[in-house]
Structure 1
Amino acid sequence: MTTLLELEDVTAFYGPVQVLDGVSLAVPEGGAVGILGANGAGKTTTLRAISGTVRAGGRIRFDGKDIRGMRPDLVAGVGIAHVPEGRGTLGSLTVRENLRIGAYRRKDRKGVEADIEYCLELFPNLKERYRSHGSALSGGEQQMLAVARAVMAKPRLMLLDEASLGLAPSTAKNVYDAIARLRRESGISMLVVEQNANLAFRLVDTATVLETGRNALTGTSAELKGMDEIRRAYLGG
């Protein structure tokens, strides 16, 4: 399987504090890879290093091209959509306007309209709230809108940061069910940061566990679920 994204010995700092210390991972074309770890392990920083919102060292290659150090807008332009922790929806704009902003780079008007309809089918709650402002949505609906807005950019790779954070279990399951469907139907590759490993393992093929900014374990979902330390730390077992 062709590698779409490759990180090799990636480092990152916030001021004098080193957060990533040689992180390496790969996401295949059409694949889904998880990043697990405790708070402060470097999960979010890894996504930020890819999307260009934090300065990074090492190598970050996307479709064979070096993207380390690129501005975030240029990273988005090569086909990477980042759904950040905290959702980042534009509260003063309606659902419709948020979706259209996701497609601001696109020139295919008919394709944009078709993708809006697809997103509303994928997330029926958004169809019901289509004219509502982002600030009026529930937390779950805001998360759905954040994912849908990323879909509108027609990315090749989606970076998902804690999509279940702050959501009721049933809502989180609905969000992940829709993301799994999106993966099946679109072929978008995904790099998924998630505290809820039970949800993550339903979506991803492989995962990497980070500890203090370094790779600690890497394996398939089945392999990691079978490890006692993983069950105790992330699966409540």
Structure 2
Amino acid sequence: MTLLELEDVTAFYGSVQVLEGVSLSVPEGGAVGILGANGAGKTTTLRAISGTVRAGGRITFAGENIRGTRPDRVAGLGIAHVPEGRGTLGGLTVRENLRVGAYLRKDRRSIAADIDYCLDLFPQLKDRISSAASALSGGEQQMLAVGRAFMAKPRLLLLDEASLGLAPSTARNVYAAIRRLREESGIAMLIVEQNATLAFSLVDTATVLETGRTVLTGTSDELKGMDEIRRAYLGG
């Protein structure tokens, strides 16, 4: 079953058109990557879905056209967005950040259990539970951002450059936790990632963007086998 579908999506910053025709789909429980050079429109695609840029075309989530929907309503429908740069609330503690992630939830009795799950998923945060987010390392902030998104209990997670600025070993640890989260929660994921090796370790399929357009879509194995993909994204 298709959970999210984009058909010929366009997007603008003011009068400047950034997306010129992006099409992709994410199945229920699936994981899809978006690859492309800087400026290809990867981050803008996620922003178009979450309602933070002016968009055209059709964006359908769980059968509902959500193009132009306010970001708060998009979140309420079950889409959680972890933006590039993490976006944690620096003045709040780790625990407070996690509780903020659950602010739309009605199942209050389950929130404490889900915080415990986040701390099991990211054990580095357990000893920092009372620390301000601003005092965390970059890797810990990324873990907190993913944990806070999980606390919303979304059906779809939009993840933008989770490895950006992280040491290779830290990035691998973050992705290992995200893979576990996917396996155990069934949350669908749409992932923008410059490190294609990490992306292919997680996603089932990927879409390649060039200058705001979808130019290629395939399974991870198909794309990894293409010479142009290896040269551009895998150092082959």
TM bucket, shorter chain? over 0.9
The question of 1:81 aligning with 2:80 is answered yes
* Residue 99 (structure 1) shift: 0.2
User: How many positions carry a matched residue from both structures?
Assistant: 236
Residue in 1 aligned with 2:102?
103
Matching residue of 1:222: 221
Shift of 1:107: 2.1
C-alpha distance in structure 1 between counterparts of 2:149 and 2:29, whole Å? 16
Aligned-pair CA distance for 1:16 = 2.0
SS of the aligned residue for 2:173 comes to helix
Supply the distance in 1 between the matched residues of 2:38 and 2:230 (Cα, whole angstroms): 17
Moved over 6 A (4+): none
Q: Secondary structure at the match of 2:201?
A: helix
Amino acid at match of 2:55: A
Matched, 1:118 2:131: no
Q: Who is 2:186 aligned against?
A: 187
In structure 2, what residue type is equivalent to 1:233? A
2:67 alignment counterpart = 68
1:169 aligns with 2:168: yes
1:7-34: CA deviation from partner (whole Å, max 9, x where unpaired):
0000001122211011000000000000
Structure-2 separation of matches of 1:17 and 1:224:
31
Higher mean C-alpha deviation, range 102-111 or range 48-57 = 102-111
Question: Are 1:92 and 2:91 an aligned pair?
Answer: yes
For residue 69 of structure 1, report the CA deviation from its aligned partner.
Answer: 0.4
Q: Alignment RMSD, CA only? A: 0.5
Residue identity matched to 1:153: A
Identity of aligned residues (%): 83
| C-alpha displacement of 1:109 | 1.9
**TM-score (norm: length of structure 1):** 0.99
* TM-score between both structures, scaled by the size of structure 2: 0.99
Helix, strand or coil at the partner of 1:203: coil
Between 1:93-102 and 1:10-19, the stretch displaced more is: 10-19
Amino acid at match of 1:230: I
Letter in 2 for 1:4: L
1:194 alignment partner AA:
E
For 1:209 and 1:36, locate their aligned partners in 2 and report how far apart those are by CA, in whole Å. Answer: 5
1:8 equivalent in structure 2? 7
SS at match of 1:145: helix
Q: Residues 34-49 of structure 1 correspond to what in structure 2 (within 5 A)?
A: 34-49=33-48
Return the alpha-carbon distance in structure 1 between the equivalents of residues 100 and 164 of structure 2: 24
Q: Distance in 2 between matches of 1:107 and 1:45?
A: 31
| Cα distance in 2 between the residues matched to 1:167 and 1:153 | 25
What's the counterpart of residue 49 of structure 2?
A: 50
Unaligned runs of 5+ in 1: none
1:137 corresponds to which residue?
136
The offset of 1:216, in angstroms, is 1.2
For 1:23, what is the secondary structure of its paired residue? strand
